[in-house]
Amino acid sequence: MDQRVIFSAVAQRTVLSHEESADLTRAVLEGLADQLSESGARRLARDLPEPLAEPLRVERRRRKGAHPIQVDDFTRQVSEHTGLTRHDAQAGAGAVIAVLQETLGDEEYRHLIGQLPAQY
Protein backbone atom coordinates (compact mmCIF):
# COMPACT_ATOMS: atom_id res chain seq x y z
CA MET A 1 0.00 0.00 0.00
CA ASP A 2 1.27 3.45 -0.89
CA GLN A 3 1.79 5.89 1.99
CA ARG A 4 -0.50 8.45 0.30
CA VAL A 5 -3.35 5.93 0.51
CA ILE A 6 -2.69 5.56 4.23
CA PHE A 7 -2.60 9.35 4.72
CA SER A 8 -5.88 9.71 2.81
CA ALA A 9 -7.52 6.95 4.84
CA VAL A 10 -6.49 8.71 8.07
CA ALA A 11 -7.73 12.06 6.73
CA GLN A 12 -11.11 10.51 5.88
CA ARG A 13 -11.50 9.32 9.48
CA THR A 14 -10.60 12.66 11.02
CA VAL A 15 -11.25 16.37 10.53
CA LEU A 16 -7.58 16.83 9.65
CA SER A 17 -6.08 17.95 6.38
CA HIS A 18 -4.05 15.56 4.25
CA GLU A 19 -0.82 17.23 5.46
CA GLU A 20 -1.88 17.03 9.12
CA SER A 21 -2.88 13.39 8.62
CA ALA A 22 0.54 12.63 7.13
CA ASP A 23 2.31 14.28 10.09
CA LEU A 24 0.02 12.50 12.52
CA THR A 25 0.57 9.12 10.89
CA ARG A 26 4.34 9.54 11.07
CA ALA A 27 4.16 10.64 14.72
CA VAL A 28 1.95 7.69 15.69
CA LEU A 29 4.23 5.20 13.93
CA GLU A 30 7.32 6.70 15.59
CA GLY A 31 5.55 6.54 18.95
CA LEU A 32 4.58 2.94 18.38
CA ALA A 33 8.15 2.12 17.33
CA ASP A 34 9.35 3.31 20.73
CA GLN A 35 6.92 0.99 22.49
CA LEU A 36 7.25 -2.21 20.50
CA SER A 37 9.84 -4.89 20.96
CA GLU A 38 12.64 -4.82 18.42
CA SER A 39 11.17 -7.82 16.60
CA GLY A 40 7.67 -6.33 16.79
CA ALA A 41 8.85 -3.09 15.24
CA ARG A 42 10.68 -4.91 12.45
CA ARG A 43 7.62 -7.08 11.83
CA LEU A 44 5.37 -4.02 11.50
CA ALA A 45 7.91 -2.30 9.24
CA ARG A 46 7.70 -5.20 6.76
CA ASP A 47 4.04 -4.39 6.14
CA LEU A 48 4.39 -0.63 5.71
CA PRO A 49 5.42 1.36 2.66
CA GLU A 50 8.64 3.33 2.60
CA PRO A 51 9.39 5.78 4.17
CA LEU A 52 6.78 5.03 6.86
CA ALA A 53 8.63 1.85 7.75
CA GLU A 54 11.95 3.61 8.38
CA PRO A 55 11.28 4.76 12.00
CA LEU A 56 10.41 1.18 12.87
CA ARG A 57 13.75 -0.06 11.57
CA VAL A 58 15.91 2.47 13.39
CA GLU A 59 17.82 0.67 16.09
CA ARG A 60 16.73 1.90 19.47
CA ARG A 61 17.89 1.11 22.93
CA ARG A 62 15.13 -1.35 23.64
CA ARG A 63 14.70 -4.34 25.75
CA LYS A 64 13.81 -7.46 23.85
CA GLY A 65 10.21 -7.15 25.01
CA ALA A 66 7.77 -4.33 24.45
CA HIS A 67 7.67 -1.41 26.84
CA PRO A 68 4.37 0.34 26.19
CA ILE A 69 3.27 3.62 27.72
CA GLN A 70 -0.19 4.62 28.82
CA VAL A 71 -2.57 6.02 26.20
CA ASP A 72 -2.68 9.46 27.84
CA ASP A 73 1.11 9.74 27.68
CA PHE A 74 1.12 8.54 24.09
CA THR A 75 -1.57 11.07 23.14
CA ARG A 76 0.38 13.86 24.82
CA GLN A 77 3.53 12.89 22.92
CA VAL A 78 1.70 12.78 19.59
CA SER A 79 0.09 16.15 20.36
CA GLU A 80 3.45 17.71 21.21
CA HIS A 81 5.10 16.21 18.13
CA THR A 82 2.41 17.37 15.70
CA GLY A 83 1.11 20.56 17.31
CA LEU A 84 -2.41 19.13 17.27
CA THR A 85 -4.77 19.45 20.21
CA ARG A 86 -4.86 16.44 22.51
CA HIS A 87 -8.36 15.69 21.30
CA ASP A 88 -7.29 15.70 17.65
CA ALA A 89 -4.15 13.69 18.50
CA GLN A 90 -6.23 11.06 20.31
CA ALA A 91 -8.81 10.81 17.54
CA GLY A 92 -6.07 10.78 14.95
CA ALA A 93 -4.08 8.07 16.70
CA GLY A 94 -7.24 5.97 16.79
CA ALA A 95 -7.67 6.59 13.06
CA VAL A 96 -4.10 5.50 12.34
CA ILE A 97 -4.57 2.32 14.36
CA ALA A 98 -7.85 1.64 12.54
CA VAL A 99 -6.09 2.04 9.20
CA LEU A 100 -3.36 -0.32 10.38
CA GLN A 101 -6.04 -2.84 11.30
CA GLU A 102 -7.38 -2.67 7.75
CA THR A 103 -3.93 -2.66 6.15
CA LEU A 104 -2.22 -5.41 8.12
CA GLY A 105 -3.18 -9.05 8.10
CA ASP A 106 -5.08 -10.34 11.13
CA GLU A 107 -2.03 -12.02 12.64
CA GLU A 108 0.17 -8.96 12.16
CA TYR A 109 -2.45 -6.67 13.70
CA ARG A 110 -2.95 -8.97 16.70
CA HIS A 111 0.81 -9.04 17.21
CA LEU A 112 0.95 -5.23 17.17
CA ILE A 113 -1.99 -4.71 19.51
CA GLY A 114 -0.81 -7.51 21.79
CA GLN A 115 2.25 -5.42 22.68
CA LEU A 116 0.20 -2.38 23.70
CA PRO A 117 -2.05 -1.68 26.69
CA ALA A 118 -5.70 -2.69 26.21
CA GLN A 119 -6.78 0.99 26.04
CA TYR A 120 -5.18 1.29 22.61
Count of CB atoms within 10 A of residue 76's CB?
15
Return the axis-axis angle of helices 18-35 and 71-82, rounded to nearest 10°: 140
Q: 63 pLDDT exceeds 60?
A: no
Q: What percent of the chain has pLDDT over 70?
A: 95
pLDDT value at residue 88: 96
Give the C-alpha distances (Å, rounded to integers) separating 90 from 46, 63, 73.
25, 27, 10
**Phi then psi for 11, rounded to 5 degrees?**
-60, -40
- What is the DSSP secondary structure assignment for residue 62, as one 8-state letter? -
Output the pLDDT for position 62: 53
How do residues 4-15 score in pLDDT, each as one tens digit?
A: 999 999 999 998
Select the highest-mean-pLDDT range: 4-8, 36-40, 104-108, 115-119. 4-8
Cβ atoms of 86 and 76 within 8 Å: the answer is yes
